[in-house]
């Protein structure tokens, strides 16, 4: 696949870029000509591996550790990232928690509820808040919040996950209006992807994958690298008139009306 240099001369920060979708987005950003800031919390080896792949393309890579479940951790990430690279043109807020070990709504616990709300809702909101402040000061930027197609279909397995992703729509629209026209804020909402986390889930191994493939018009469950370019599209010049928007990418499983 030939990749254009649509992010040339830009710096892209991706949270949770040590594994899975975040790693794929970081690498695709480098393929598109960007320098990359790679955030991780616990996946240090994965983050360093992502950085090595980025540098292998001739782009620079800065690795930053931070716990995004606290406001101070997010402020630390923002401080360290801007101190290291000077300017961030695109921030992709990818970190989320799917509580993969939860197999039914009946299994909901206070700990699993708090974990999802703290990371997916509070973390995404505060990352948008803090990166947006800096981008306003620098005179421009774009923020892509990673949501989920679960906002269309809900989640029998983990209702708090669906609630958190729906919250991301509300906070994205709010900040898009607040930051316009200087900083754009959008949501990229993928469906199921075959990441290591998904492949390890009990329901995935007991027939759910096959049912989803059958129900999906495109007849395919993609890997993260197949969707990374679509997520980054929202930060590219071609999307310059899109803010407060939602881009759904789930192979047609959740077709919605206008």
State how far the Cα of 213 lies from the Cα of 221, in Å rounded to an integer. 6
Q: What is the pLDDT of residues 72-103, one digit of tens each?
A: 999 999 999 999 999 999 999 999 877 777 67
User: Scanning the structure block, which residue is given the tokens 């970081």?
Assistant: 26
Query: Residues of the chain with pLDDT > 70: what percent?
Result: 96
- At 52 the pLDDT is 98
Average pLDDT over residues 57-70: 96
Pairing of β 35-40 and β 11-14 = parallel
Known active-site residue 175: no
Q: How many CB atoms lie within 10 A of CB 153?
A: 14
Q: How many residues does the chain have?
A: 258
Contact 143, 131 (CB under 8 A): yes
Per-residue burial over 184-212, b if 16 or more Cβ lie within 10 Å, else e, is bbbbbbbbbbebeebeebeebeeeebeeb
Between residues 103 and 255, the one the model is more confident about? 255
CA–CA separation, 1 and 60 (whole Å): 22
Residue 90 · residue 81 · CB < 8 Å = no
pLDDT at position 154 is 81
- Sign, CA dihedral 154-158-159-164, equals negative
* Tokens matching residue 223: 């890997």
Question: Tens digit of pLDDT for each residue in 183-234?
Answer: 999 999 998 888 777 777 667 677 778 888 888 888 988 999 999 999 999 9
Instruction: Give residues with Cβ within 8 angstroms of 92, minimum separation 6.
Output: 12, 13, 14, 15, 22, 25, 29, 143, 144, 146, 231, 232, 235
Choice among 27, 40, 161, 175 that is catalytic: 161
155-185 pLDDT, tens digit per residue, is: 888 888 889 999 999 999 999 999 999 999 9
Which domains are seen in the chain, by residue range?
A: 11-249 (3.40.50.720)
CB 182 within 8 A of CB 139: yes
């Amino acid at each position: 696949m030939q990749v254009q240099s649509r992010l040339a001369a830009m710096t892209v920060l991706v949270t949770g870029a040590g594994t899975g979708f975040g790693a794929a987005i970081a690498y695709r950003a480098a393929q598109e000509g960007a320098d990359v800031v790679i955030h991780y919390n616990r996946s240090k080896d994965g983050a360093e591996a992502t950085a090595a792949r980025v540098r292998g393309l001739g782009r620079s890579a800065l690795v930053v550790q931070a716990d995004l479940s606290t406001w101070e951790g997010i402020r630390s990430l923002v401080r360290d990232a801007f101190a290291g690279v000077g300017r961030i043109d695109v921030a992709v807020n990818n970190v989320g928690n799917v509580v993969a070990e939860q197999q039914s709504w009946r299994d909901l616990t206070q700990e699993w509820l708090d974990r999802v709300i703290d990371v997916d809702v509070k973390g995404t909101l505060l990352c948008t808040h803090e990166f947006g402040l800096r981008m306003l000061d620098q005179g421009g930027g774009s923020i892509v919040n990673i949501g989920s197609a679960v906002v269309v279909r809900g989640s029998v397995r983990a209702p708090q996950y669906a609630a958190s992703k729906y919250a991301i729509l509300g906070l994205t629209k709010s900040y898009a209006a607040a930051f316009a026209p200087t900083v754009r804020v959008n949501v990229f909402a993928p469906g199921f992807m075959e990441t290591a986390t998904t492949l390890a889930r009990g329901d995935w191994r007991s027939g759910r994958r096959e049912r989803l493939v059958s129900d999906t018009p495109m007849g395919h469950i993609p890997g993260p690298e197949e969707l990374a370019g679509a997520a980054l599209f929202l930060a590219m010049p071609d999307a310059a008139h899109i803010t407060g928007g939602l881009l759904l990418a789930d192979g047609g499983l959740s077709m919605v009306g206008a």
